[in-house]
Structures are given as C-alpha cells and as structure tokens.
Structure 1
Amino acid sequence: VIPVVTTIFGAAYAVQPGYGIGFEKDIYLWIPVLGNIVAVIVIPYVGNLSDKIGRKPPIIIGSIVSGLLSFVYLYAISIHSVPLAICMSILMWGIVYQGYNAVFPSFYPEMFPTRTRVSGMAISQNLGTLVTALLPALFAYVAPPGAMDIPFTVGCITLGVTVVAAIAAFTARETYRVHMADLGNPNAVPVPKRAYDEARDKLMSASR
C-alpha cells in the first residue's frame, strides 16, 4: 500500500489537472527515483538489524509509522509543497517503509516448513499483491478529483492496511533465532540469544 500511495495515487494526485495540484511531471518522477536510491542504501542495514533484534520489530514499526507518514506526504502534495513532498516520500518510502520491505522476504518464508515454503510464500504474496493492485481504483472512488479531505481519506485507508500488517506480524511467531530445520514448526524453541549471537558472529567473521 505504501508504494501505491507514493507512486500511483500520489502521482495522479500531484500531476493530474483534475486534482488542481499541478506538479510538473518531470519533477514528480524524481520522487520514486530518489526513494529507491535511498531504499537500496537502507535495506542492508535493516536486514542486519533484523538479525540482531528479530524480524517482527522492524516490520511492525515500519508498517505503522509509514502509514502515519502517508497523511503528511499527501498533505504536502495538497499544499503544493514540492520540497516537503519529496522529503516526506523519501522518509516514508525510502527509509521507514524499508523496515517492512527489507524483512518480509525472510519473515514470510520462515513461517512455512521447507516442503511448502516456496508455495506458501508465492501464494500468499500474490494474493496480497492482488488486493493492493485494486487500491488505486478504491482511492480514485473514495477520493475523486474535487473531493474534500483527500489526504485524510486516503491516509486513513493506508493506515488501516498498515495496522493490519502490523497486527499480523505482532501475532506471528518470531523466527530469527529458530534453527533452519525447525522453521515452520509452531512448537520450535528458539536458540538462546547468546548462542545465536556467537554463531552469527562466527559466520560474519568467516564471510569476511
């Protein structure tokens, strides 16, 4: 939902004459470019952090905070502030959202045992993509050109989706200290943190 708000609905809201904002298209196109550049830098650090503190905290924080920032991002567009819109898009998408985006490719597959891991990830991910693919149509329906409080309306839907994602992560099992052979087993016991940290440090030293 965050990339949809940033690059699809946000772009339409910013550049289409019907919304009355009138951003220049060539200026607005820098928003996803800069967001992706920052994301490429941030992702390895978030991934490394999830190996230290767990998968769930970055996902939960990244989901909720990016949902909250969507209000400010859309508000920046509504007041015709290009610098604020660019800064908020980088903060929302390029930095905060990566708490979710950098970790879910590990977290989701780790929910499933080895025999069903690829299918479990592929089916659930594509069902989720199917739902989010319909969001631009929903946004256009509830916030058409001329509608009042577009940032608030779209922001509420965005925050609602990100809260659902955060609740799902909060109620899921933590997987970062579970042995690979035990992933997908709801009764698996995580490796003690000290032993996990020692093994991780040895692996990192060997890789250098």
Structure 2
Amino acid sequence: SWGWRVPFWASVAVAVVGYVIRRTLQETPAFTRQATTEGVVKLPLGVLFRDHWADVLRVVAGALIASVSTIFTVWALAYGTSDAVGLSRTQMLWVGALANVVALGAIPAWATLSDRIGRRPVYLIGAAGSAVLMTAYLWAISTGSYALVMLFGILAFGVVYSAANGVWPSFYGEMFSTRVRLSGMAIGTQIGFAVAGFAVTFAARIAGPDGDDWSAVALFTAALCVPPVIAVLTARETHEVPTEQLGERPRDEAVRRTTVAA
C-alpha cells in the first residue's frame, strides 16, 4: 500500500514548498520597475506571440535537447539490459548514477563558464556534443564492454549534456523581455519537453522488431539535437546584456539608443 502513498505525499510536499517559495520570493528589480512605470501586461500572450514568436519557436526547438535525457535514462537502459547485450540492470543503473554525480559538478561549472564566454557557445557544445557522444554511448553499449559504457555514459550525460542542461534556464529566459518572460519560458519549454517525452516511444519503434538497432536510434537522437543547434545559432548572445534590455526588438533598441544619445 505504500507503493503509491510515498510518491503521492512527496508530490504534495513539493507542491507546498513550491507554493511557499513563490509567495515569499521577491520579484526582480527590473520587473518591479517595469510594473511601476508601465504596469503589468494584461494580455501577455498577445504581446508574446506578436513580438516574440520567433523566440518562442527557438525555445520549443531548444527544449528538444531533453530527448537526450529520455533516450539515455530509458531506452539505453532497456537496450543495455536486453538479451542482445546482456549487461545487468545494476551495472546500467550505476552508469546513470555516476553520470548524475558528475553532472552535479559539471552543471554549475558550465553555467559559470557561460557567464564568461556567453550562453551560445556553451549551449552549442551541449547540443552538438550530445549528438556525437550519445552515438558513442549507444555504440559502447552494443559492444557489451562495461568499461566503455561507463566511460562514454559519463562523458555523454555527465559532462557534455550538462553544458546544455546547465545553461538553458538563463539562455531561454534571456530571450524575452521582463513583461513576457514567464509566459515565453513556460509555453516554449513545455511544448518542447512534451515532444521530447515521446522520443523513447519513437526510438522503440525504429530500433526494429528485436529492439537492437542502436545505430538507428543514434541517428534519431542526433537528428533531435539539430533543432537545438539551429535555435542557438539563430539566437542572440545575452550574457552581457543588462536585464532591462533583454528581449528588446531591434526597433525598440534603436529608439532607446536614440533617446539616450539625445
């Protein structure tokens, strides 16, 4: 009977903590100033899709990088423990556990690096690198060599994927102005994450009747990394842009510069 009670009460606890934090957390100074001088947007979705539709699409495309996580944690685990490979479930779970331990240090390290060299190059390393390292990881599983599986698993998920995972909250959020940042982040990421959630289903279908066509799944995973790469290449760099100027359209930026110059 405890099988469902523990997850239920854990979810309730998370919801309560989230509610308390949101009710007590102060707004950013930029949002407070904007709300005081211009007021809060009454129809943020209208402003969002009128002025920031391209950035919403970028966030949707970028959020597909979550497919790497679902393929790594679900499909690769099933493949590695299948009769075709023969690794034990314990061995495969240790790969994921150690990769996550490495990620605990890699994520803040990549995030700190993005403050120095920019969001775009760090995110690009994560997106493009994941396409390459996930291919190597699935190949390593196919060999049945636990040493190779551990090595490429940690590199793929613990190190390289952490580059995108550590920078996307700031990278996506900084695409939008203060007035619509929450709406842009929420809509863009949830659409992208929802699509990424079906990656395992498609991977299982293209892996063939025996579920052992790792190369097809590797190509599929690499293809899912292409939209995030396109998103980052078409986005502007924001790590040195003042908070008040984030999400400005070219016309708004030109008006602001003219006003400052005058």
Using structure 1 for the length normalisation, give the TM-score: 0.85
Quote the offset at 1:160 in angstroms. 1.2
1:8 to 2:74 alignment: yes
Q: Could you tell me how far apart the structure 1 residues matched to 2:91 and 2:183 are? A: 41
Alignment check: 8 A CA contact 2:79 2:211 kept? no
Quote the offset at 1:146 in angstroms. 2.6
Q: Could you tell me how far apart the structure 2 residues matched to 1:155 and 1:64 are? A: 13
Q: Please, what is the CA RMSD of the aligned residues?
A: 1.4
Q: Could you tell me how far apart the structure 1 residues matched to 2:123 and 2:209 are? A: 33
Partner residue of 1:161?
A: 224
1:45 to 2:45 alignment: no
Which residue of 136, 145, 149 maps to 1:81? 145
Quote the offset at 1:109 in angstroms. 0.7
Partner residue of 1:70?
A: 134
Q: Could you tell me how far apart the structure 2 residues matched to 1:38 and 1:145 are? A: 35
- CA offsets, 1:32-80, max 9 Å, x none? 1111110011111111110111100011121111111111111111111
1:122 to 2:186 alignment: yes
Identity across aligned pairs (percent)? 38
Structure 1 48/112 Cα, relative in aligned 2: closer, same or farther at 3 Å?
same
Partner residue of 2:118?
A: 54
Quote the offset at 1:145 in angstroms. 4.5
Give 5+ residue unaligned stretches, structure 2: 1-66, 255-262
Q: Find runs of 4+ consecutive structure 1 residues off by over 6 angstroms.
A: none
Using structure 2 for the length normalisation, give the TM-score: 0.68
Larger radius of gyration: 2
Q: Secondary structure at the match of 1:97?
A: helix
Quote the offset at 1:186 in angstroms. 2.7
Alignment check: 8 A CA contact 2:204 2:211 kept? no
- Tell me whether 179-188 or 168-177 shows the greater mean CA deviation: 179-188
Alignment check: 8 A CA contact 1:61 1:166 kept? no
Counterpart amino acid of residue 227 in structure 2: V
Give 5+ residue unaligned stretches, structure 1: 190-208
Alignment check: 8 A CA contact 1:60 1:167 kept? no
Counterpart amino acid of residue 138 in structure 2: L
1:170 to 2:233 alignment: yes
Partner residue of 2:85?
A: 21
Q: Could you tell me how far apart the structure 2 residues matched to 1:116 and 1:166 are? A: 24
Structural mapping, 1:104-123, within 5 Å? 104-123=168-187
Q: Could you tell me how far apart the structure 1 residues matched to 2:117 and 2:226 are? A: 21
